[in-house]
Amino acid sequence: MNAKTILVAVDFSDVTQGVVDAARSMAAAFGGRIILLHVEEPEPDFVGFEAGPQPVRVNVAHEVRATHRQLEGLKQTLGEGGVEVMALHIQGPGVEKILHEAQQQGAELIVIGSHGHGAIYNLLVGGVTSGVLKGATCPVLVVPAPRK
């Protein structure tokens, strides 16, 4: 495999470090660049199409800034290892946005984590990883959640 552009989907859960480590290894082995991607689910619509009550808007703004700082921290850490890294923080449906960005960025590999939910959960609820596996047009490396 000659993966030059690696899309790395991160959600800042307990599997994120494993996903980043796997992507770093792949980028080093194949001379690739990394596109770090964090997708925020869309904010719920409020009655009357307003932006929501002031306390909600303030809380959301704090969360977005905190997530952005985490993403930039990952970018800096990966970049210190000599890997070319770009970070994207976007909002929308997870599966759709990951697949869209993989296409847009010309990704030759997607690295994503699995939270270890069972088959019944994925059947009833679905899952981002499952959706990406079904819709991807390039190889997908799935990193399992750490065993507890």
Q: What pLDDT score was predicted for residue 125?
A: 45
- The CATH number assigned to the domain holding 34 equals 3.40.50.620
Query: Measured on CA atoms in the order 98, 103, 104, 107, is the torsion positive or negative?
Result: positive
Count of domains in the chain?
A: 1
Q: What pLDDT score was predicted for residue 56?
A: 65
Query: Measured on CA atoms in the order 108, 35, 38, 106, is the torsion positive or negative?
Result: negative
Q: What pLDDT score was predicted for residue 146?
A: 82
Mean pLDDT of the chain: 83
How is the chain classified by DSSP, letter by letter? Answer: ----EEEEE--SSTTHHHHHHHHHHHHHHHT-EEEEEEEEPPPPPPGGG----HHHHHHHHHHHHHHHHHHHHHHHHHHHTT--EEEEEEES-HHHHHHHHHHHHT-SEEEEEE----HHHHHHT--HHHHHHHH-SS-EEEEEPPP-
Model-level pTM? 0.82
Taking only the tens place, the pLDDT of each residue in 121-136 is: 555 445 888 899 999 9
The amino acid sitting at 24 is: R
Q: What pLDDT score was predicted for residue 111?
A: 96
Alpha carbon dihedral 118, 148, 131, 126, in 10-degree steps, equals: 40
Host domain of residue 66: 5-144
Q: What pLDDT score was predicted for residue 49?
A: 47
Residues of the chain with pLDDT under 50: 1, 47-49, 124-125
